[in-house]
Amino acid sequence: MRVRHHDEASMLGMLQFFENQPDWLGGFGLSPHAPYTASIELYRLAKHCCELHDMPFTTHISESVEEHEMFLYGKGPLHDFMLSIGRDCSDCAHGSSLSHLLEHRVLTDRCLAVHLNYLQEYDYPLLVESRANVVHCPKCHEFFGHSRFPLERMLDREINVCLGTDSLASNNSLDMRSEIRQAQIFHPDLHPVDWWRMVTANGAKALGQSGVIGEIRVGARADLVAFPLRQDIDPFASLISGKKPPTFFMIDGKQNLDYC
């Protein structure tokens, strides 16, 4: 496995990038990929950098059965492949991939933990204690045929759950309405308002931007999008079921005609 070494000067230059652009709309974040590709040392560095610059960081955890087998049992195709390219797999066979990160205390309330498709019973109290945010990607989840996502168990524990799209590599759109419709198939009892919280206010909380984005209120950025509504059903349900393109975009108080 090829290892890149960075001296202190190059690392300092990377950190100064975040310091020199304080007015960048939307801010910045870091994204160590996953526990089977990123070391604990890298996670610690990402955590430190995000605490230093008040940024969130995202990582993919327990996305596949193969990852789950690798960490839980120390075997399987992913384990064997990673071992063959030089990864030190001595951190495997000691628990789930989520518990691996939580026990090293690299996940905090500024972390967006994406997927979490395969969890052990002991993961739930650890996840609550960490206050990490969870990002469920319904259409990606269905694309790979994963087991039913434990959404209700997370909500019952008041874990902050958001919806995401992952990427077009496992999705045919980046439409959050479509993500909600997919999730509703397996979780039909949630109210439409709850779904919209997951794609607005919950996401803002995960990014450390509560009261700034994700809601319409005094002091928040005027980030707005308008869709045609049906008159015969609840407006939140109408937003979810609608497939027409938006008619209006506003970003930070400025109407953006490029998206209309």
Summarised one tens digit per residue, pLDDT across range 62-96 is 999 999 999 999 999 999 999 999 999 999 999 99
> Tell me, what's the pLDDT at 11?
59
Query: Is 61 a member of any domain?
Result: yes
- Please tell me the pTM assigned to this model: 0.89
User: Token pair for residue 220?
Assistant: 């928040």
CB proximity list for 240: less than 8 A, separation 6 or greater = 177, 180, 181, 184, 192, 195, 196
Place 53 in a pLDDT band, splitting at 50, 70 and 90.
Answer: confident
**Residue 52 contacts residue 80 (beta carbons within 8 Å):** no
> Strands 248-251 and 254-255: what pairing?
antiparallel
Q: How many domains does the chain have?
A: 1
Tens-place pLDDT, residues 240-259: 999 999 999 999 888 876 65
Boundaries of domain holding 192: 8-217
Length of the chain, please? Answer: 260
List the CATH number of the domain containing 22.
3.20.20.140
User: What is the C-alpha separation between 184 and 240, in angstroms, rounded?
Assistant: 10
Burial classification of residue 211, based on how many CB atoms lie within 10 Å of its CB (0-12 exposed, 13-18 middle, 19 or more buried): middle
Q: For residue 182, is it within any domain?
A: yes
71 lies in a domain? yes
